Each structure stands twice: as structure tokens, then as C-alpha cells.
Structure 1
Amino acid sequence: MMKISGRATSCCVALFFALTSVSAVQRLNSINDLKKINYGQSVPKHSLVLLYWFANTVDINNNNNNISLTFDPNSGDYGSHYYGNFERLLDRLPWGNRYYTIGNLHQETAMPLPRYVVHPPTEHMGGNRDRIIIRVREQNIVGQALQIDQVYITQHYEGPEHQGTPYDPDHTYQITTNLLRQIREFSAGANQQQLLHLRNRYGSNADVLHIRNTWGDLASLILLLNIVIQEKYSFNQQSCRLQNNYRQENRQNNAGDVASAICIAFVVLFVLFILAFSNKSGK
């Protein structure tokens, strides 16, 4: 009886740890959940840019919420590669599934991440620590896209780049399909009416007209960053700096054009003066 009891206790303990390991990763189900994360301090702001790109790159079936990959993670597309989960960051894989990590900015690939991800349009978003991890159901059907059943954002511990440091479990979050759908509403090139609707829906007072006129096709991303990180003034200041730099470059170019014209005119007058003096001397 004691042996049976001990075995039962061991099984209960194992089951407890298995269940708690599943609930250890916090789920983010909405943009309002994204707002609660401490960006810039404990979580890189760049993770939002990476997540925005990912949400607008995968396919989501409107009928069954299935998420399909539009690229091959086995080929290293978009800085992706196999993830072994050796540190037990995530759940143990079911049979026929694999984990992949996406977003290594320094990985050479035939399909690199877009420029706005590699070089974010706002300040203080550098670094290469943040990643997206996906759990994929592998299949042998030729021509059919791989199906994703779990999505996470995570980050490497701080340390030297390219050292393969493990991921930080305290700042790893599961991303639901609902959240991906909400982010997809901020699609690239959204018109001003859509941006205004999204701003009001998520309780922001960002200047949509200013964002649209300044950032163009990236306006939807900038609005999302304003809503989630709630740093509208810093982005507006960044916009003003970009505009001021542009105006300054124009002034410098215009000044250079004026100086060149004056210099050319001076040379022409000098040549005419020499020619006139030469004619008088010849007479």
C-alpha cells in the first residue's frame, strides 16, 4: 500500500508540474494586453515591430482560425531556424510538431526581413534579442502550407551578440489568434479613415493626420506603436526631427546652388574682363 501511495504521489507531482509548465507562459489575447508589458525596460520595443510584420505575413483562415506559414522556416527565411526547446522554455512537443524561431537580423538568408524591421523607423529600437517562436504541425502533403498552432514572442537574455544565449522565460508570451487579428487591422498602407477608427477604438489621442503625412506607408505601424507603448510625444518629436533634417538638407542644397551660381557668374565676369583688357592692349 505504501508503494502504491508513493507512486500515486509521484504521478500527482509530475502531473502538477506538467500543468504548471503549461500555464507558466502568460497569454496575450488583445492589444490591451500588449499595453501592460513594460516595453523599453524589460522587453525590447523592437518586438512589437517584429510582431507587426509577422501578423501581416502569415495567413489566417477566417472560418477556422488556422494560421498558415507563407515561407519555409527550414530554409532560414526571415532569420528562422529550428528551435530545440532544450531549456524547456515551452511545452514538450506533441508527436509530429516542431518549434522554429524567427527574427534573427544577422542571419544571412535569401528572404531577409523588410527594411523597417531591420532598421526600425523610430529611435531606441535597435538590438537583435527579440524573437518569435512558432509551433508547427509538420505534414507530408506536398504543396500545402505548414500550419501553426502556437505563437510566442520571447527574447534572449542580455549579453554579447551571436553567443546563442538562452531565452528569458520571464519575458516570454503566448500570442493568440485574436491578438494577431487585431494587429492585422493595422495593415500596411491603411487610409486615414481606418487609422482614425483604430485610434478611437483603442483609446489613443495620437495625431493621425500628422502620422499619415509624415510616415506614409508606415503610418499604421507608427500608430500601433503609439497605442501600445503610449509614447506619442517621442514619435512626434522624431517626426519633427526627420522633417527638420529634410528642411535643413534642402536649405543646404539651395545654399550650395546659390553659391555655385555666384561662383560661375564671378568666373564669367573675370573671363570677360580679361578678354576686354586683352583687346585694349592689342590696340
Structure 2
Amino acid sequence: METLNELSQLRDSGFGQPWPRHGLKLLYWFANDCVSFGNENIMISECDPADGDFGFHRFKNRYDEYGDKLLPDIDFPYYVVGNLNSPGAEELPDYVSEDNSPVLHNSNIDRIIVSLYDEEWFHRVYVTQHHNRSNDYDPNATYPISRSLLMIIRRMSLEDFLEEMGYFTYIQPFYPMPVINYSPQTTNTFRPDLPAVTPSSSDSDDSESPETQNNDTKIQIDDDTSSQHPSENLTMIRRLWNIFCTIL
């Protein structure tokens, strides 16, 4: 069983990754709040696993179906922490349990197991995980954590530690609403001196009259020629015809 001594080894082990797993946050809490170091770097327990603090309870290290035990047999009791549904787990910091959800089955599979000597000192510290959504632990994902690695973690902020591990909290993607630019329709109107010529526009406004919403060009001529001389009428008609041709 390989002992993890460096951050790179912890990262490569895959423990507590990816989101929404909580093992890395659990380990950060343990290194900073549940253990301290005394003379000769002995690991002093700052919590009380035997009393059930933070959801700790006995780990019996039973034989599995293949006749193997997860951890070595020793004379000290084992305790496990990390089950966010255990009594006392509500004492854990919010950052450890914030992603726990029944619909995210990987959000509660990570554990820390400790061996406790005389209820005051930690003899060994292990990280592990449940195997394939069962109550069994995965022996291939179980690692001892060295004192030196715990000391390294203690010197880091939570954000820096998670970043170093390549752990990123999931962020719901944001899709902005489409922007619709509305431009009111306009009508161009030409008004020559004599006849009124109004070509319709393809972008005509809804309030525009029906007469201007087609594609025809209309020329309105006041018919007051009945009282004029025929030659004058002919001259006027020619002038209007020239104007009409010029407009077209």
C-alpha cells in the first residue's frame, strides 16, 4: 500500500475527485482542525473519535468476500469519519458538506480512517472511498497519509489546496438571453411641387395607411382642366407626362 507523501501523489491518486466528491475538503479539515503535531512530530488528536465527534465511529476492519482486510491488524482501534449522514457529521464545516445531495451519489463516498492510541494520539491516517456505490471500501483507492503531507496541507489555504489538486467546484453554465434590436419601420415620402408622388416602403410602419403598403407608385393629379383651352390642356398633359417619366 503506497504512502502519500507529496501533493502530487495525492493528486495522482484521484482521492476526492472530481466534483462533487468531498474527500479533499474532508482531508483539509482533518489536517487543520483535527490533528496537531507535538514533539517528534507525533500526531495529537484535537477531536474525540471515541466520543463520536464530527461523525466518527468505529471501523471494525472485517474480512471482505475474498478473505482480505482493508487495513493491517494492529492493537489500536480504528475510527472512520466522512459519512455526511452519520450522527455528529453536522459538526463538520459547511465547506465539507455543501455539495452533498441524494441525487449526486459520488458526493458522500470518501472517508478518512485513523488508528487511535490511548485516545490521544493518531497512530496512522488513511484515505479511502466506498466501492461501486456499495458499503465495501475500495482497497485500490486506499492510501496511508504521511505526517509530512498533513503538514504541507496545514500551510495552505483551502482555495490553494483545491487548486493544486486540480479540483474545481461545478458552476452552472449561464446562457444569456438573446438581444433583439427593434427598429421602427419608416416610410419615405417624396413631395414634388406639382403632383404628390409617394413610393411605398418594404419596411412600412403598422400605422401606415393601406394605400401606401403596396408596391405601386401613385401620382395624384387634380383634374381641373375642363375649363382650359384644348391646346393648353395638351401642353399640360405633355408636361405631366415628362414629369412622370422623370420620376420613373
Please say whether Structure 1 and Structure 2 have the same fold, judged by a TM-score greater than 0.5. yes
2:126/2:143 contact within 8 Å kept: yes
- Residue pairs, 1:207-246, within 5 angstroms: 220-229=157-166, 238=171
When the two structures are aligned, how many residues end up with a matched partner? 167
- Residue pairs, 1:119-138, within 5 angstroms: 119-120=98-99, 127-138=107-118
CA deviation profile, 1:212-265 (whole Å, cap 9, x unmatched): xxxxxxxx2122111112x5xx55x84997xx9xxxxxxxxxxxxxxxxxxxxx
**Runs of 5+ consecutive residues of structure 1 not aligned to the other structure:** 1-24, 139-144, 187-219, 245-283
User: Which shows bigger deviation, 149-158 or 107-116?
Assistant: 107-116
Q: Which has the larger radius of gyration?
A: 2
2:16/2:24 contact within 8 Å kept: no
2:15/2:24 contact within 8 Å kept: no
Question: Partner amino acid for 1:127?
Answer: S
CA separation of 1:74 and 1:59: change in aligned 2, threshold 3 A:
closer
Residue in structure 1 matching 2:73, options 81, 92, 97: 92
Q: What residue number does 2:212 align with?
A: none
Q: What residue number does 1:209 align with?
A: none
Using the alignment, how far apart are the partners of 1:182 and 1:227 within structure 2?
12
Residue in structure 2 matching 1:151, options 125, 135, 151: 125
TM-score, length-scaled by structure 2: 0.59
- Residue pairs, 1:240-279, within 5 angstroms: none
Residue in structure 2 matching 1:102, options 74, 81, 89: 81
CA deviation profile, 1:76-111 (whole Å, cap 9, x unmatched): 211110111113111111x3x111001110012286
Q: What residue number does 1:183 align with?
A: 153
Larger helix fraction of residues: 1
Using the alignment, how far apart are the partners of 2:163 and 2:6 within structure 1?
16
SS class of match (2:165) = helix
Q: What residue number does 1:210 align with?
A: none
1:46/1:125 contact within 8 Å kept: no
**Runs of 5+ consecutive residues of structure 2 not aligned to the other structure:** 64-68, 176-248
TM-align CA RMSD: 3.0
